[in-house]
Amino acid sequence: MPGGARAARVDGVPKQAFRRDRISTGYRELRARQAEAAASAAEHRRHRTRLLARQIIAAHGPALVVEDCDIRTWYRLWGKRLSQTTPGLLISALERECQAAGGRLVRASTWSTALSQHCLCGERMKKTLRDREHKCIACGLTGKRDLVSAALAAFVRFTDVDDSKAAYLDTTASRHAQITFSEGLEEALRESTAPSQTTACGAGRVAVPRQRRTAVPSNPG
């Protein structure tokens, strides 16, 4: 107990309720510092998430499609490691920023689209969660699994945008894009989205290219 041991009867039942315990001044100060640190960390995550959402919309526009996933399953699989990325917080921020920019974020059911299980050519490629590389036996397309899924999301269509299960994959359009862009598309799908080990901003942050400074000659006089 923070303020000292409580008196108890012979049968072990305390004589004083827990809520009436006296808490030491040091314990109160420690609890206040912990609460302040937790609030500061939460605000930092929200601020970082807003900036990332704005960067995504600036690069890809305010009309976005995301998979309608149960994020609780992710937490059961990866636990506290997700607290650094907070995917649910990012999706909420993207939704607000899309609306502010005059667009909309829509959700597509993973059951009706199965983006990670398809290739741009339309072939269905069965993968487990451990399979992070996409290799199509039909057309030979290779790339990062997440990048291929993201590319396929551009070809998701809806019969009802308010119903995630009404989403479907337009394989005719995706196949046409694959033929049109050919090697350029495959090269883009092979590039990793993981942060560079030499990134100055640290792991998990967006690397912003530094501008080269123009050398100014020193005045000999």
Report how far residue 111's alpha carbon sits from residue 98's, in angstroms, rounded to the nearest whole number.
25
The whole-number pLDDT of residue 211 equals 40
Residue 215 pLDDT grade (very low, low, confident, very high; cuts 50, 70, 90): very low
Helix (H, G, I), strand (E, B) or coil at 66: strand
Residue 40 pLDDT grade (very low, low, confident, very high; cuts 50, 70, 90): very high
Identify the CA nearest to 70 among candidates 85, 53, 87, 48: 87
Structure tokens at 36: 């302040």
The whole-number pLDDT of residue 11 equals 77
The whole-number pLDDT of residue 16 equals 66
Instruction: Look at residue 39 and tell me whether its pLDDT is greater than 80.
Output: yes
Instruction: Look at residue 96 and tell me whether its pLDDT is greater than 80.
Output: yes
2 vs 126: which has the higher pLDDT = 126
Instruction: Look at residue 197 and tell me whether its pLDDT is greater than 50.
Output: no
| Other residues' Cβ atoms within 10 Å of the Cβ of residue 178 | 20
Q: How many CA atoms lie within 13 A of 205 on its CB side?
A: 13
The whole-number pLDDT of residue 58 equals 92
Identify the CA nearest to 159 among candidates 110, 193, 86, 108: 108
Question: What are the pLDDT digits (tens) for 46-61?
Answer: 999 999 999 999 998 9
Report how far residue 95's alpha carbon sits from residue 156's, in angstroms, rounded to the nearest whole number.
18
Q: What percent of the chain has pLDDT over 70?
A: 79
> For the chain, where are the alpha helices, taking DSSP H only?
25-60, 71-78, 87-100, 110-113, 145-153, 171-190
Question: What are the pLDDT digits (tens) for 58-75?
Answer: 998 999 999 998 888 878
Question: What are the pLDDT digits (tens) for 142-164?
Answer: 999 999 999 999 999 999 989 99
Instruction: Look at residue 29 and tell me whether its pLDDT is greater than 60.
Output: yes
Q: How many CA atoms lie within 13 A of 201 on its CB side?
A: 10
The whole-number pLDDT of residue 18 equals 66
Identify the CA nearest to 201 among candidates 51, 33, 36: 51
143 vs 81: which has the higher pLDDT = 143
Residue 27 pLDDT grade (very low, low, confident, very high; cuts 50, 70, 90): confident
Q: Look over the chain and give the mean of its residue pLDDT values, rounded to a whole number.
A: 80
The whole-number pLDDT of residue 8 equals 66
